[in-house]
Structure 1
Amino acid sequence: MTDPTTNPTESNPKPYQRLRNLVLALVAVLLSATLVWGLQTETGVSSLETQAAQATPLEVALNNGKPTLMEFYANWCTSCQAMAKDLGEVKADYGNQVNFAMLNVDNTKWLPEVLRYRVDGIPHFVYFNSQGEAIAQTIGEQPKSVLKADLEALIAQQTLPYANQTGKVSAFQAKVKPQSGEDPRSHGGS
Protein backbone atom coordinates (compact mmCIF):
# COMPACT_ATOMS: atom_id res chain seq x y z
CA MET A 1 0.00 0.00 0.00
CA THR A 2 1.27 3.50 -0.82
CA ASP A 3 1.51 6.36 1.61
CA PRO A 4 -1.20 8.93 0.75
CA THR A 5 1.05 11.85 1.86
CA THR A 6 3.76 11.21 -0.78
CA ASN A 7 3.48 11.92 -4.45
CA PRO A 8 4.65 8.96 -6.53
CA THR A 9 5.98 11.27 -9.29
CA GLU A 10 8.44 12.94 -6.88
CA SER A 11 10.37 9.77 -6.15
CA ASN A 12 10.06 8.35 -9.65
CA PRO A 13 9.71 11.16 -12.22
CA LYS A 14 8.30 10.31 -15.60
CA PRO A 15 10.61 10.38 -18.65
CA TYR A 16 9.14 13.64 -20.01
CA GLN A 17 9.86 15.37 -16.69
CA ARG A 18 13.48 14.23 -16.86
CA LEU A 19 13.76 15.53 -20.42
CA ARG A 20 12.20 18.85 -19.41
CA ASN A 21 14.65 19.20 -16.50
CA LEU A 22 17.57 18.41 -18.79
CA VAL A 23 16.44 21.00 -21.35
CA LEU A 24 16.01 23.62 -18.62
CA ALA A 25 19.50 22.88 -17.29
CA LEU A 26 21.00 23.17 -20.79
CA VAL A 27 19.18 26.46 -21.43
CA ALA A 28 20.45 27.82 -18.11
CA VAL A 29 24.03 26.86 -19.00
CA LEU A 30 23.74 28.43 -22.47
CA LEU A 31 22.27 31.65 -21.06
CA SER A 32 25.03 31.86 -18.46
CA ALA A 33 27.71 31.32 -21.09
CA THR A 34 26.12 33.96 -23.34
CA LEU A 35 25.99 36.45 -20.46
CA VAL A 36 29.64 35.87 -19.54
CA TRP A 37 30.74 36.16 -23.18
CA GLY A 38 28.68 39.35 -23.60
CA LEU A 39 30.24 40.97 -20.56
CA GLN A 40 33.74 40.04 -21.71
CA THR A 41 33.06 41.45 -25.18
CA GLU A 42 31.76 44.73 -23.77
CA THR A 43 34.82 45.23 -21.57
CA GLY A 44 37.25 43.71 -24.06
CA VAL A 45 40.00 45.30 -26.09
CA SER A 46 37.56 47.34 -28.17
CA SER A 47 36.21 49.47 -25.29
CA LEU A 48 37.65 52.96 -24.99
CA GLU A 49 38.21 52.57 -21.25
CA THR A 50 40.22 49.38 -21.69
CA GLN A 51 42.29 50.86 -24.50
CA ALA A 52 42.98 54.01 -22.48
CA ALA A 53 44.10 51.94 -19.50
CA GLN A 54 46.49 49.99 -21.75
CA ALA A 55 47.78 53.06 -23.62
CA THR A 56 51.37 54.21 -23.38
CA PRO A 57 51.69 57.28 -21.13
CA LEU A 58 52.38 60.37 -23.26
CA GLU A 59 55.68 61.21 -21.54
CA VAL A 60 56.97 57.69 -22.22
CA ALA A 61 55.64 57.57 -25.78
CA LEU A 62 57.38 60.77 -26.83
CA ASN A 63 60.73 59.76 -25.37
CA ASN A 64 61.22 56.04 -25.98
CA GLY A 65 62.49 56.17 -29.57
CA LYS A 66 59.37 54.66 -31.18
CA PRO A 67 56.88 56.51 -33.38
CA THR A 68 53.62 57.41 -31.67
CA LEU A 69 49.96 57.77 -32.56
CA MET A 70 48.28 60.06 -30.03
CA GLU A 71 44.49 60.02 -29.94
CA PHE A 72 42.32 62.71 -28.38
CA TYR A 73 39.02 61.07 -27.43
CA ALA A 74 36.09 61.14 -24.99
CA ASN A 75 33.92 58.31 -23.69
CA TRP A 76 30.78 60.13 -24.90
CA CYS A 77 32.16 60.59 -28.43
CA THR A 78 30.10 58.51 -30.85
CA SER A 79 32.80 58.70 -33.53
CA CYS A 80 35.41 57.49 -31.01
CA GLN A 81 33.13 54.63 -30.00
CA ALA A 82 32.53 53.74 -33.65
CA MET A 83 36.29 53.44 -34.23
CA ALA A 84 37.10 51.62 -30.97
CA LYS A 85 36.94 48.09 -32.36
CA ASP A 86 39.09 48.88 -35.41
CA LEU A 87 41.57 50.83 -33.31
CA GLY A 88 41.82 47.93 -30.88
CA GLU A 89 42.69 45.62 -33.77
CA VAL A 90 45.21 48.10 -35.21
CA LYS A 91 46.82 48.48 -31.79
CA ALA A 92 47.10 44.71 -31.49
CA ASP A 93 48.79 44.55 -34.93
CA TYR A 94 51.19 47.50 -34.51
CA GLY A 95 51.64 47.74 -30.72
CA ASN A 96 55.21 46.43 -30.81
CA GLN A 97 56.32 49.04 -33.36
CA VAL A 98 54.25 52.10 -32.45
CA ASN A 99 53.24 53.75 -29.16
CA PHE A 100 49.53 54.40 -28.76
CA ALA A 101 48.78 57.29 -26.40
CA MET A 102 45.22 58.28 -25.53
CA LEU A 103 44.27 61.66 -24.09
CA ASN A 104 40.73 62.13 -22.79
CA VAL A 105 39.62 65.67 -23.68
CA ASP A 106 37.39 65.75 -20.60
CA ASN A 107 40.49 65.58 -18.37
CA THR A 108 41.76 69.16 -17.86
CA LYS A 109 45.25 67.72 -17.39
CA TRP A 110 45.43 67.54 -21.18
CA LEU A 111 44.31 71.14 -21.83
CA PRO A 112 47.82 72.26 -22.93
CA GLU A 113 47.91 69.47 -25.53
CA VAL A 114 44.30 70.19 -26.60
CA LEU A 115 45.30 73.79 -27.27
CA ARG A 116 48.71 72.99 -28.80
CA TYR A 117 47.21 70.61 -31.37
CA ARG A 118 44.07 72.71 -31.95
CA VAL A 119 41.62 69.99 -30.99
CA ASP A 120 38.14 71.14 -31.94
CA GLY A 121 36.71 67.80 -33.02
CA ILE A 122 37.29 64.25 -31.89
CA PRO A 123 38.65 61.76 -32.53
CA HIS A 124 41.76 63.77 -33.32
CA PHE A 125 44.98 61.89 -34.10
CA VAL A 126 48.51 63.27 -34.01
CA TYR A 127 51.36 61.26 -35.52
CA PHE A 128 54.84 61.62 -34.00
CA ASN A 129 58.11 60.38 -35.48
CA SER A 130 60.55 58.36 -33.37
CA GLN A 131 62.14 61.60 -32.08
CA GLY A 132 58.81 62.71 -30.58
CA GLU A 133 58.14 65.42 -33.19
CA ALA A 134 54.57 65.89 -34.46
CA ILE A 135 54.59 65.28 -38.21
CA ALA A 136 50.93 64.90 -39.18
CA GLN A 137 47.34 64.98 -37.94
CA THR A 138 43.99 63.53 -38.90
CA ILE A 139 40.61 64.43 -37.51
CA GLY A 140 37.49 62.30 -37.36
CA GLU A 141 36.63 58.71 -38.11
CA GLN A 142 39.25 56.97 -40.21
CA PRO A 143 38.79 53.59 -41.88
CA LYS A 144 41.05 50.84 -40.58
CA SER A 145 42.80 50.61 -43.95
CA VAL A 146 43.70 54.31 -43.76
CA LEU A 147 45.04 53.95 -40.22
CA LYS A 148 47.14 50.97 -41.25
CA ALA A 149 48.54 52.76 -44.31
CA ASP A 150 49.47 55.80 -42.22
CA LEU A 151 51.05 53.64 -39.49
CA GLU A 152 53.07 51.64 -42.02
CA ALA A 153 54.37 54.89 -43.53
CA LEU A 154 55.11 56.22 -40.02
CA ILE A 155 57.12 53.09 -39.19
CA ALA A 156 58.98 53.31 -42.52
CA GLN A 157 59.67 57.04 -41.91
CA GLN A 158 57.82 57.99 -45.10
CA THR A 159 55.19 60.62 -45.83
CA LEU A 160 51.83 59.55 -44.41
CA PRO A 161 49.48 59.04 -47.37
CA TYR A 162 46.27 60.03 -45.58
CA ALA A 163 47.56 62.56 -43.06
CA ASN A 164 45.85 65.89 -42.51
CA GLN A 165 42.50 64.39 -43.50
CA THR A 166 39.18 65.14 -41.83
CA GLY A 167 36.44 62.57 -41.32
CA LYS A 168 33.25 62.54 -39.25
CA VAL A 169 33.83 64.17 -35.84
CA SER A 170 32.09 64.79 -32.55
CA ALA A 171 32.20 68.51 -31.69
CA PHE A 172 34.32 69.45 -28.70
CA GLN A 173 34.85 72.63 -26.72
CA ALA A 174 37.24 72.71 -23.78
CA LYS A 175 35.50 73.15 -20.42
CA VAL A 176 38.40 75.30 -19.24
CA LYS A 177 39.79 78.33 -21.05
CA PRO A 178 43.37 79.67 -20.79
CA GLN A 179 43.69 81.97 -17.79
CA SER A 180 45.85 84.63 -19.43
CA GLY A 181 42.97 85.71 -21.66
CA GLU A 182 45.17 85.23 -24.73
CA ASP A 183 44.67 82.31 -27.03
CA PRO A 184 48.01 80.44 -27.20
CA ARG A 185 47.15 79.60 -30.80
CA SER A 186 47.64 83.26 -31.73
CA HIS A 187 51.41 83.01 -31.09
CA GLY A 188 51.43 86.50 -29.61
CA GLY A 189 49.55 88.09 -32.53
CA SER A 190 46.37 90.08 -32.20
Structure 2
Amino acid sequence: MDTEKQLEANSNNSVRNIVVAIAAVILSIALFLGLKTENNPLSLESQFKQSTSLDVAFANEKPTLTEFYADWCTSCQAMAGDLGEIKQAYGDRVNFVMLNVDNTKWLPEMLRYRVDGIPHFVFMDSKGNAIAESIGEQPKGILEMDLDALIAKNPIPYANKTGQVSQFEPQVTVTKDTNTDPRNHGG
Protein backbone atom coordinates (compact mmCIF):
# COMPACT_ATOMS: atom_id res chain seq x y z
CA MET A 1 0.00 0.00 0.00
CA ASP A 2 2.79 2.46 0.83
CA THR A 3 4.32 1.94 -2.59
CA GLU A 4 0.98 2.68 -4.31
CA LYS A 5 0.52 5.87 -2.28
CA GLN A 6 4.07 6.93 -3.04
CA LEU A 7 3.59 6.29 -6.79
CA GLU A 8 0.32 8.22 -6.71
CA ALA A 9 1.96 11.13 -4.86
CA ASN A 10 4.87 11.16 -7.33
CA SER A 11 2.39 11.14 -10.22
CA ASN A 12 0.43 14.06 -8.70
CA ASN A 13 3.67 15.98 -8.15
CA SER A 14 4.71 15.39 -11.76
CA VAL A 15 1.38 16.65 -13.07
CA ARG A 16 1.56 19.69 -10.79
CA ASN A 17 5.14 20.41 -11.91
CA ILE A 18 4.12 20.22 -15.57
CA VAL A 19 1.17 22.57 -14.99
CA VAL A 20 3.43 25.04 -13.14
CA ALA A 21 6.01 24.88 -15.95
CA ILE A 22 3.35 25.50 -18.63
CA ALA A 23 1.91 28.41 -16.65
CA ALA A 24 5.40 29.91 -16.25
CA VAL A 25 6.01 29.69 -20.01
CA ILE A 26 2.64 31.29 -20.81
CA LEU A 27 3.24 34.12 -18.31
CA SER A 28 6.73 34.71 -19.71
CA ILE A 29 5.36 34.98 -23.24
CA ALA A 30 2.58 37.31 -22.10
CA LEU A 31 5.08 39.51 -20.26
CA PHE A 32 7.40 39.62 -23.28
CA LEU A 33 4.57 40.55 -25.64
CA GLY A 34 3.24 43.13 -23.18
CA LEU A 35 6.62 44.85 -22.95
CA LYS A 36 7.06 44.68 -26.70
CA THR A 37 3.64 46.31 -27.26
CA GLU A 38 4.36 49.01 -24.70
CA ASN A 39 7.50 50.06 -26.59
CA ASN A 40 5.76 49.95 -29.96
CA PRO A 41 5.96 53.45 -31.49
CA LEU A 42 2.52 52.93 -33.00
CA SER A 43 0.80 52.06 -29.69
CA LEU A 44 -1.79 54.43 -28.23
CA GLU A 45 0.42 55.18 -25.23
CA SER A 46 3.48 56.12 -27.28
CA GLN A 47 1.36 58.20 -29.67
CA PHE A 48 -0.16 60.05 -26.72
CA LYS A 49 3.32 60.84 -25.39
CA GLN A 50 4.30 62.26 -28.80
CA SER A 51 1.07 64.18 -29.40
CA THR A 52 0.81 67.97 -29.31
CA SER A 53 -0.83 69.53 -26.28
CA LEU A 54 -4.12 71.31 -26.87
CA ASP A 55 -2.66 74.68 -25.79
CA VAL A 56 0.27 74.41 -28.18
CA ALA A 57 -2.00 73.31 -31.03
CA PHE A 58 -4.22 76.36 -30.59
CA ALA A 59 -1.20 78.69 -30.49
CA ASN A 60 0.98 77.48 -33.37
CA GLU A 61 -1.42 78.29 -36.25
CA LYS A 62 -1.31 74.85 -37.86
CA PRO A 63 -4.53 72.92 -38.51
CA THR A 64 -5.29 70.29 -35.89
CA LEU A 65 -6.79 66.84 -35.73
CA THR A 66 -7.99 66.15 -32.19
CA GLU A 67 -8.66 62.52 -31.34
CA PHE A 68 -10.78 61.58 -28.33
CA TYR A 69 -9.76 58.05 -27.38
CA ALA A 70 -9.41 55.54 -24.54
CA ASP A 71 -6.86 52.81 -23.93
CA TRP A 72 -9.67 50.22 -23.60
CA CYS A 73 -11.32 51.24 -26.89
CA THR A 74 -10.98 48.41 -29.41
CA SER A 75 -11.69 50.76 -32.33
CA CYS A 76 -8.95 53.13 -31.12
CA GLN A 77 -6.54 50.22 -30.80
CA ALA A 78 -7.45 48.94 -34.26
CA MET A 79 -6.65 52.34 -35.80
CA ALA A 80 -3.46 52.97 -33.81
CA GLY A 81 -1.08 51.60 -36.44
CA ASP A 82 -2.59 53.57 -39.33
CA LEU A 83 -2.82 56.74 -37.23
CA GLY A 84 0.80 56.38 -36.17
CA GLU A 85 1.86 56.23 -39.83
CA ILE A 86 -0.39 59.18 -40.70
CA LYS A 87 1.06 61.22 -37.85
CA GLN A 88 4.57 60.51 -39.09
CA ALA A 89 3.64 61.58 -42.64
CA TYR A 90 1.61 64.70 -41.73
CA GLY A 91 3.18 65.76 -38.43
CA ASP A 92 5.07 68.68 -39.96
CA ARG A 93 1.85 70.21 -41.33
CA VAL A 94 -0.86 69.17 -38.85
CA ASN A 95 -1.08 69.11 -35.04
CA PHE A 96 -2.20 65.76 -33.66
CA VAL A 97 -3.84 66.12 -30.26
CA MET A 98 -4.97 63.10 -28.25
CA LEU A 99 -7.44 63.53 -25.39
CA ASN A 100 -8.20 60.49 -23.24
CA VAL A 101 -11.90 60.38 -22.37
CA ASP A 102 -11.09 58.64 -19.08
CA ASN A 103 -9.35 61.81 -17.86
CA THR A 104 -11.97 64.16 -16.40
CA LYS A 105 -9.65 67.08 -17.20
CA TRP A 106 -11.05 66.86 -20.75
CA LEU A 107 -14.72 66.88 -19.71
CA PRO A 108 -15.29 70.44 -20.99
CA GLU A 109 -13.92 69.46 -24.40
CA MET A 110 -15.95 66.22 -24.41
CA LEU A 111 -19.09 68.24 -23.74
CA ARG A 112 -18.19 70.97 -26.24
CA TYR A 113 -17.66 68.46 -29.06
CA ARG A 114 -20.46 66.13 -27.89
CA VAL A 115 -18.26 63.07 -27.58
CA ASP A 116 -20.53 60.06 -27.21
CA GLY A 117 -18.55 57.47 -29.13
CA ILE A 118 -14.86 56.93 -29.64
CA PRO A 119 -12.67 57.37 -31.49
CA HIS A 120 -14.08 60.84 -32.12
CA PHE A 121 -12.06 63.08 -34.45
CA VAL A 122 -12.43 66.86 -34.57
CA PHE A 123 -10.84 68.69 -37.49
CA MET A 124 -9.82 72.25 -36.57
CA ASP A 125 -8.55 75.08 -38.73
CA SER A 126 -5.35 76.99 -37.95
CA LYS A 127 -7.27 79.27 -35.56
CA GLY A 128 -8.55 76.34 -33.47
CA ASN A 129 -12.13 76.47 -34.79
CA ALA A 130 -13.82 73.09 -35.21
CA ILE A 131 -14.81 72.73 -38.85
CA ALA A 132 -15.69 69.03 -39.13
CA GLU A 133 -15.77 65.77 -37.22
CA SER A 134 -15.94 62.05 -37.77
CA ILE A 135 -16.72 59.31 -35.31
CA GLY A 136 -15.53 55.72 -35.24
CA GLU A 137 -13.03 53.73 -37.20
CA GLN A 138 -11.95 55.48 -40.37
CA PRO A 139 -9.89 53.86 -43.13
CA LYS A 140 -6.38 55.26 -43.52
CA GLY A 141 -7.09 56.58 -47.02
CA ILE A 142 -10.17 58.45 -45.84
CA LEU A 143 -8.25 60.15 -43.03
CA GLU A 144 -5.48 61.08 -45.45
CA MET A 145 -7.99 62.67 -47.86
CA ASP A 146 -9.59 64.54 -44.96
CA LEU A 147 -6.18 65.79 -43.77
CA ASP A 148 -5.19 66.84 -47.30
CA ALA A 149 -8.41 68.89 -47.47
CA LEU A 150 -7.77 70.34 -44.00
CA ILE A 151 -4.27 71.46 -45.03
CA ALA A 152 -5.57 72.94 -48.31
CA LYS A 153 -8.38 74.72 -46.42
CA ASN A 154 -10.98 72.85 -48.46
CA PRO A 155 -14.18 71.26 -47.12
CA ILE A 156 -13.46 67.95 -45.38
CA PRO A 157 -14.81 65.35 -47.84
CA TYR A 158 -15.68 62.63 -45.35
CA ALA A 159 -16.76 64.83 -42.44
CA ASN A 160 -19.56 63.79 -40.12
CA LYS A 161 -19.15 60.14 -41.06
CA THR A 162 -19.63 57.48 -38.43
CA GLY A 163 -17.73 54.20 -38.41
CA GLN A 164 -17.59 51.50 -35.74
CA VAL A 165 -17.40 53.09 -32.28
CA SER A 166 -16.90 52.18 -28.66
CA GLN A 167 -19.70 53.79 -26.67
CA PHE A 168 -18.68 56.28 -24.03
CA GLU A 169 -20.71 58.07 -21.40
CA PRO A 170 -18.86 60.47 -19.10
CA GLN A 171 -19.22 59.36 -15.50
CA VAL A 172 -20.02 62.61 -13.69
CA THR A 173 -21.64 62.60 -10.28
CA VAL A 174 -22.89 65.80 -8.69
CA THR A 175 -22.78 65.69 -4.92
CA LYS A 176 -23.93 68.32 -2.47
CA ASP A 177 -21.24 69.39 -0.03
CA THR A 178 -23.04 70.69 3.08
CA ASN A 179 -19.89 72.52 4.20
CA THR A 180 -20.07 74.84 1.17
CA ASP A 181 -23.84 75.35 1.19
CA PRO A 182 -24.36 79.11 1.74
CA ARG A 183 -27.61 78.34 3.60
CA ASN A 184 -25.65 76.25 6.11
CA HIS A 185 -24.06 79.33 7.77
CA GLY A 186 -21.10 77.21 8.86
CA GLY A 187 -23.23 75.10 11.22
Q: Which of the five TM-score ranges fits, normalised by the shorter chain?
A: 0.7 to 0.9
Alignment of 1:82 onto 2:75: no
SS at match of 1:135: strand
Quick one: distance in 2 between partners of 1:77 and 1:166?
A: 16
Alignment of 1:148 onto 2:144: yes
Quick one: distance in 2 between partners of 1:92 and 1:78?
A: 22
Unaligned runs of at least 5 residues, structure 2: 1-30, 176-187
Match of 1:168 in 2: 164
Unaligned runs of at least 5 residues, structure 1: 1-34, 180-190
The two structures have a TM-score, normalised by structure 1, of 0.72
The percent of aligned pairs where both chains have the same amino acid is: 65
Alignment of 1:103 onto 2:99: yes
SS at match of 2:156: coil
Q: 1:65 to 1:175 in 2, by over 3 A?
A: same
Match of 2:131 in 1: 135
Question: Which of 1 and 2 has greater Rg?
Answer: 1
Quick one: distance in 1 between partners of 2:158 and 2:75?
A: 18
Shift of 1:57: 0.2
Quick one: distance in 2 between partners of 1:63 and 1:167?
A: 31
SS at match of 2:66: strand
Match of 2:48 in 1: 52
Quick one: distance in 2 between partners of 1:39 and 1:104?
A: 22
How many residues align? The count is 146
Q: Which amino acid aligns with 1:99?
A: N
Quick one: distance in 2 between partners of 1:53 and 1:42?
A: 12
Alignment of 1:124 onto 2:120: yes
Match of 2:184 in 1: none
> What root-mean-square deviation, in Å, do the aligned CA atoms of Structure 1 and Structure 2 show?
2.1
Q: Do the aligned partners of 2:38 and 2:45 also contact (CA within 8 Å) in 1?
A: no
